[in-house]
């Protein structure tokens, strides 16, 4: 009989184990039973901590966020454009680190206030630049939802970076759509070079926010340089 002392079973340990299994099983294959087997406990033991799978996903999303922001700090010198670029680049990079990472994050509710300090800082930055609170929230949420949707589609094609699913070959798609040349050619714009296309879409949205608001004479506009990535702090 083993005398090895195991770490106590708590929410954090279960969530960490679930995130480890996520890359192997994907979200559809991730079950409380599979997690219990990995932890060498009976499945009912997990229901003491999580009433259902959604409660577990909430904790997993919270843990993903903790990992994203660990050891990082917001740059007080950021313009609002720089902050949106950094946070959404960081969000995409973090979600791509997990198979179905965007699906786990989507619709989940954080189980702690781990995000609120950074959220307050972001809103302060935006309102100091001339945004109303409503405009600041809309700008942050619009770019956040763009990133979440982009990565959801990206991971539908490549569950893990470089691991492309069958049926998404651009050449085969073009052959099937030969009678529709523009749609056929669009395949490369949709299913290839995700890094480039993400940046183009994000810049388009940020430029649109600036153009929509600067005419009102309140919002400060500064062209954002391409700075380093920064973890996301826009989740409400």
Cα–Cα distance between 102 and 187 in angstroms, integer?
A: 22
pLDDT tens digits, one per residue of 29-47: 999 999 999 999 998 888 8
Asked if residue 55 is part of any domain, the answer here is yes
pLDDT tens digits, one per residue of 193-209: 999 999 999 999 999 99
pLDDT score for 169: 82
Structure tokens at 182: 């523009």
Asked if residue 35 is part of any domain, the answer here is yes
Using CB atoms within 10 Å of the CB of residue 148, give its burial: 0 to 12 exposed, 13 to 18 middle, 19+ buried.
buried
Structure tokens at 123: 């809103």
pLDDT score for 71: 67
Q: Which of 63-67, 135-139, 142-146 has the lowest mean pLDDT?
A: 63-67
Asked if residue 175 is part of any domain, the answer here is yes
- 156 to each of 152, 172, 194, how far by Cα in Å? 6, 18, 12
pLDDT score for 5: 56
Q: How many domains does the chain have?
A: 1
What mean pLDDT value characterizes the chain?
A: 87
Look at the alpha carbons of 217, 219, 222, 224 in this order and tell me if their dihedral is positive or negative: negative
* 3 state DSSP class of 168: coil
Asked if residue 63 is part of any domain, the answer here is yes
CATH code for position 40 = 1.10.357.10
Determine contact, residues 224/206, Cβ cutoff 8 Å. yes
pTM for this prediction: 0.84
pLDDT tens digits, one per residue of 157-205: 998 888 888 778 888 888 999 999 999 999 888 888 999 999 999 999 9
pLDDT score for 9: 87
User: Per-residue b/e over 26-54, b at no fewer than 16 CB within 10 Å?
Assistant: bbeebebebbbeebeeeeeebeebbeeee
Mean pLDDT of 214-223: 59
Asked if residue 70 is part of any domain, the answer here is yes
pLDDT tens digits, one per residue of 55-95: 999 999 999 999 988 867 789 999 999 999 999 999 999 99
Cα–Cα distance between 139 and 93 in angstroms, integer?
A: 20
End-to-end CA distance of the chain: 48
pLDDT score for 160: 82
| Percent over 90 (pLDDT), the chain | 64
Q: Is the pLDDT of residue 230 over 90?
A: no
* CB neighbourhood size of 183 (10 A): 13
Asked if residue 224 is part of any domain, the answer here is no
Asked if residue 225 is part of any domain, the answer here is no
Asked if residue 229 is part of any domain, the answer here is no
Which domain range does residue 178 map to?
11-214
**Backbone torsions φ then ψ of 163, nearest 5 degrees:** -105, 80
**Backbone torsions φ then ψ of 154, nearest 5 degrees:** -60, -45
């Amino acid at each position: 009989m083993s005398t090895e002392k195991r770490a106590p079973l708590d929410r954090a340990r279960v969530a960490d184990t679930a995130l480890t299994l996520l890359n192997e099983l994907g979200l559809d294959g991730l079950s409380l039973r599979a997690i219990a087997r990995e932890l060498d406990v009976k499945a009912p033991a997990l229901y003491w901590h999580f009433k259902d799978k959604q409660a577990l996903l909430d904790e997993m999303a919270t843990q993903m966020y903790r990992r994203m922001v660990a050891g990082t700090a917001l740059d007080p010198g950021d313009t609002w454009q720089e902050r949106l670029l950094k946070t959404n680049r960081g969000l995409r990079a973090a979600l791509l680190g997990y198979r179905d990472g965007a699906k786990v994050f989507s619709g989940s509710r954080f189980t702690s206030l781990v995000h609120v300090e950074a959220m307050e800082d972001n809103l302060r930055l935006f309102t100091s630049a001339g945004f109303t609170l409503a405009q600041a929230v809309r700008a942050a949420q619009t770019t956040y939802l763009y990133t979440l949707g982009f990565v959801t589609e990206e991971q539908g094609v490549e569950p893990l970076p470089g691991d492309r699913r069958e049926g998404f070959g651009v050449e085969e798609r073009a052959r099937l759509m030969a009678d529709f040349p523009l749609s056929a050619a669009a395949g490369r714009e949709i299913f290839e070079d995700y890094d480039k296309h993400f940046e183009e879409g994000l810049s388009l949205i940020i430029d649109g926010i600036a153009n929509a608001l600067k005419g009102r004479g309140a919002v400060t506009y500064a062209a954002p340089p391409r700075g380093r990535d920064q973890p996301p702090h826009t989740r409400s």
